[in-house]
Amino acid sequence: MAKKTTQSTAAAQAVPEMDYPQHEATYELFLGMVKWGIVSMVFLVLALYAFIEGHQPILGLVLLVLMVVVPIAGAVMGRSSKSGKAA
């Protein structure tokens, strides 16, 4: 018959507590990346429409540039407003 081994209380206490502030910060980062990824894809779809159906290559190029600039600017502005709240 196999012996049942039980964990000692010292081994059970060796597991660290969850770091909730870090968990929440990671989740906020994930949500921000999803949000700005969706915004970026909207600009991509509009740029493709301008290139293919609208026959407007300049507008398509502007939308492609905005696809990169707007999410970066939004993420930077969102980060600076959150750091202002903590102060």
pLDDT tens for residues 27-82?
998 998 899 889 899 989 999 999 899 888 898 899 899 888 888 888 788 777 66
Q: Does residue 30 sit within a domain?
A: no
- What's the CA gap between 63 and 40, in Å, rounded? 10
Q: What is the pTM of this model?
A: 0.64
Q: Does residue 46 sit within a domain?
A: yes
Dihedral sign, Cα of residue 42, residue 47, residue 48, residue 54: positive
- 86 or 3, higher pLDDT: 3
Token representation of residue 73: 């600017």
Q: Does residue 1 sit within a domain?
A: no
> Which structural domain, as residue segments, surrounds residue 63?
39-80
Output the average pLDDT for the chain. 81
Q: Does residue 59 sit within a domain?
A: yes
Q: Does residue 61 sit within a domain?
A: yes
Residue 44, Cβ density class (10 Å: 0-12 exposed, 13-18 middle, ≥19 buried): middle
As for how many domains the chain has, the answer is: 1
